[in-house]
Amino acid sequence: MKIAMIGTGYVGLVSGVCFSDFGHDVVCVDKNPDKIAMLERGEVPIYEPGLDALIEKNVEAGRLTFSTDLSAAVDGAEAVFIAVGTPTRRGDGHADLSYVMAAAEEIAQALTGYAVVVTKSTVPVGTNRQVKRTIAKANPSAEFDVASNPEFLREGAAIEDFMKPDRVIVGVQNDRAADLMSEIYRPLYLREFPIITTDLESAEMIKYAANAFLATKITFINEIAALCERVGADIKQVSKGMGLDGRIGNKFLHAGPGYGGSCFPKDTKALARIGQDHAVPMQITETVIKVNDETRRRMIEKITDMMDGHLAGKTVAVLGVTFKPNTDDMREAPSLTVIPALIGAGARVRVVDPQGRREGEELLPGVHWVEDAYKAAQNADALVILTEWNEFRALDLKRLAKKMATPALADLRNIYSAQDAKRAGFSAYVSIGRTDFRAEA
Ligand SMILES: NC(=O)c1ccc[n+]([C@@H]2O[C@H](COP(=O)([O-])OP(=O)(O)OC[C@H]3O[C@@H](n4cnc5c(N)ncnc54)[C@H](O)[C@@H]3O)[C@@H](O)[C@H]2O)c1
């Protein structure tokens, strides 16, 4: 099957590459010529484990190409996927659909025979119908159907998620489009992964409902963590005790510095706006957004309190700036709130991240990038763990404490314990939802 993938970002690139690995002929299109030039040179513009090898394999097999020419890619394609960004629209929190609609207009002009235009981007309910109207208006003779196929992959585990999904959601209006979508996902269908066919509106809603639910779960445990700190409970034990309940499950119950990333912040905001537009306020989601903002602010207070309120002239070493490990994505990362606040209070900030520097250099002006945690800790007054990369999970705490001017550790991912820190010679240890440790002065 011939597929055009419009938008070659985190979702479009992974989806296009995986479809080519299923055996389809895929052209990945992007309007950013630098991205396409990199891909044509065999370089991968994003960090996603395993993606480079899968690209190489499918390019060599002649099933995967990259282009800036949308018309040529769409000409003769049986399926055209829209995987462009839907960021928060400035000012009102709605999903910005301008990229989706611009792509739809371009696709309309390029359609030659029957094709299904599939929206993979996360879009509000009603968008697929809007895409259909836009194409029909721009090219009244175009023969096409639309389908909604939201994506659930997680950055950092994107290939695994795409190849072994919990489910695939396909929203359609007729059997012709449903059959074509089944053909595309045939390898998954044969391996009995659940493929759920719905109407367009339900497919669109499933994506927002799923993301808002996950954001709620994280936020819930973060709020419980704040209470644990006050009452002397330990959030790790609480999460474990809760998560063993089969009705609750243990995923997304790790307390931390608040959710970030390319999806939860914008999708919760968009869902809240959709609710307001339809006079059904999403009160839970609206509260989640508020509590998450407070959680992030609480992180700044925690670090400040650990340093007795004195940040001016002090050196803070920050481990991890990407919004989670195994990605270079910095969108809405907690580091983007925490680090500027530290700098604003007069601290000098050193930063280590295995993949974050390329994006982070522009987003975090004024920080000093170093190669590893031990260099960062040299004469530092505080060490802050913001992202739980594997290389920060087995640090030699004793060695770190020795190097620091003031051995104080803010472990905002609960990797270590107060006991570990105390034993290693730290004079202060703060974490999330557990009792802090502070050596007597
Ligand atoms: N990133 C994730 O983990 C994730 C997961 C599930 C769903 N989604 C959704 O998928 C969509 C894409 O997200 P992303 O993170 O891949 O975005 P991204 O910003 O990484 O990529 C979007 C790409 O589309 C390109 N583009 C925009 N308009 C174009 C056009 N007219 N023609 C060709 N290319 C065009 C941009 O240049 C960019 O490279 C969003 O709706 C997002 O909510 C993302």
DSSP letter string, 382-414: EEEE-S--GGGTT--HHHHHHH-SS-EEEETT-
Phi, psi of 169, rounded to the nearest 5 degrees: -105, 130
Q: pTM of this prediction?
A: 0.96
Residue whose CA is at the smallest distance from ligand 1 atom 21: 9
Q: How far is the CA of 91 from the centre of ligand 1 (A)?
A: 21
State whether the beta carbon of 65 lies less than 6 angstroms from ligand 1: no
Residue 279 backbone class (left: φ over 0; alpha: ψ -120 to 50; beta: rest): left
What is the C-alpha to C-alpha distance for residues 109 and 122, in angstroms, rounded to an integer?
Answer: 23
Write out residues in the chain with pLDDT < 70, as ranges: 441
Q: How far is the CA of 27 from the centre of ligand 1 (A)?
A: 15
Secondary structure element (H or E) that encloses residue 117, with its range: strand 115-119
As beta bridge partners, residue 385 has 319, 411
Pocket test for ligand 1, best of 39, 48, 84, 331 (most atoms within 8 A of CB): 84
Q: Are the C-beta atoms of residues 370 and 315 closer than 8 Å to each other?
A: no
The one catalytic residue among 18, 28, 228, 263: 263
State whether the beta carbon of 145 lies less than 6 angstroms from ligand 1: no
3-state helix, strand, coil in the chain (%, to 5): 45, 15, 40
Nearest of 6, 29, 5 to residue 16 by alpha carbon: 5
What is the C-alpha to C-alpha distance for residues 178 and 368, in angstroms, rounded to an integer?
Answer: 52
Can you read off the two tokens belonging to residue 143?
């023969």
Q: How far is the CA of 413 from the centre of ligand 1 (A)?
A: 28
Three-state SS for 193? Answer: coil
Q: In 10 A of CB 106, how many CB atoms?
A: 18
pLDDT at res. 440: 74
Residues in the chain: 441
Q: Are the C-beta atoms of residues 351 and 373 closer than 8 Å to each other?
A: no
Can you read off the two tokens belonging to residue 36?
């396409």
What is the C-alpha to C-alpha distance for residues 5 and 17, in angstroms, rounded to an integer?
Answer: 10
Nearest of 155, 185, 158, 160 to residue 170 by alpha carbon: 185
State whether the beta carbon of 104 lies less than 6 angstroms from ligand 1: no
Q: Convert 197-226 into a string of H (helix), E (strand) and C (coil).
A: EECHHHHHHHHHHHHHHHHHHHHHHHHHHH
pLDDT at res. 91: 87
pLDDT at res. 441: 63
Is 263 catalytic? The answer is: yes
